[in-house]
Structure 1
């Protein structure tokens, strides 16, 4: 981390503030608005997501061509590929169920807290506990795999 530009962390904070302000301004930090979207009553979230996807798409297209490397870290721009496996399906499904039950995703939960929704602390606590339990379970499963001499960490069971 010591090779990062001194403006790296302040710019991360600024980006988070802009993101949070945008969520609050668009009313997407209010769980009742998100639940209305999930019930197909208010489709405003589509415009918010489309706006974010458009900005991200343009940045991902232009930044490697214009900059060559990340301006604050010097890292090269490259794709990170994640295989589509059962962990992605299970994790995505759990995330979706949690989103539907609470009406909020992690980024919007922090913005919701910032606009005075203190009851969102229950959802944030659930997110932290769920992430901790998943990490604990994954580390335990990894320890069991490493202790088995026939285990192959790259091959999922039943994928032969």
Structure 2
């Protein structure tokens, strides 16, 4: 990533987040009961929202590397970033899926839900922060023990 970012980088990121949150609120995806109805095969509106987002994203991923050499605000080259598919990905995905299925909300929609007046979502947000902290602490402990074992060899 570039050391020097465009001065509009952070304001545009915040603006994009506001637009994303507005879209979640407008499409009713910030309401946990709507998401839970989708997961129970009672309301298929989420399919159309996700399909629309996938189309826009697909077009952007296909077109932008042909239009520009690098990202406009960071100057980074457009390229695939391959990440390993390991057990942490599977475990993290399973935890996310179970949390999404039980609460009917994911992190982005939780903030949007707070923005539309759902104050009880603060419990879910607190749980997300606690879970993220525990995961970060656990990973730092495993990384430290792995580094110690390597140094001892």
Q: Report the TM-score when normalising by structure 1.
A: 0.91
Are 1:138 and 2:125 matched, yes or no? no
Partners of 1:119 and 1:143 in 2: how far apart?
A: 37
The equivalent residue for 1:9 is 10
Tell me by how many angstroms 1:62 deviates.
Answer: 0.6
- TM-score norm. by structure 2 comes to 0.95
Which residue of structure 1 aligns with residue 48 of structure 2?
A: 47
Q: Give the number of the structure with larger relative contact order, counting CA–CA contacts within 8 Å between residues 6 or more apart.
A: 2
**Aligned counterparts of 2:150 and 2:111: Cα–Cα separation in 1:** 44
- CA RMSD, aligned part only? 1.6
The offset of 1:150, in angstroms, is 8.1
Whole-Å separation in 2 of the counterparts to 1:12 and 1:149: 40
Q: Which residue is 2:33 aligned to?
A: 32
Q: Kindly state the Cα deviation for residue 69 of structure 1 after the two structures are TM-superposed.
A: 0.6
SS in 2 for 1:95: helix
Runs (5+) with no aligned partner, structure 2: none
Counterpart in the other structure of 2:95: 94
Q: Does residue 24 of structure 2 align to residue 23 of structure 1?
A: yes
Q: Distance in 1 between matches of 2:150 and 2:20?
A: 47
Give, in whole Å, the separation in 1 of the partners of 2:125 and 2:64: 33
Q: How many residues align?
A: 152
> Partners in 2 of 1:82 and 1:2 — Cα distance?
22
Q: CA deviation at 1:2?
A: 6.2
Displaced runs of 4+ in structure 1, greater than 3 A? none
Partner of 1:76: 77
Q: Deviations over 1:59-117 (max 9, x none)?
A: 11111110111011111111111111100100000000111111100000000000000
Partner in structure 2 of residue 155 of structure 1: none
Structure 2 residue matching 1:81: 3-state secondary structure: coil
Q: Aligned equivalents of 1:36 and 1:115: distance in 2? A: 19
* SS class of match (1:69): coil
What corresponds to 1:123 in structure 2? 124
- Give CA deviations for 1:14-51 in whole Å, capped at 9, x if unaligned: 11111000000000000000000111110110111111
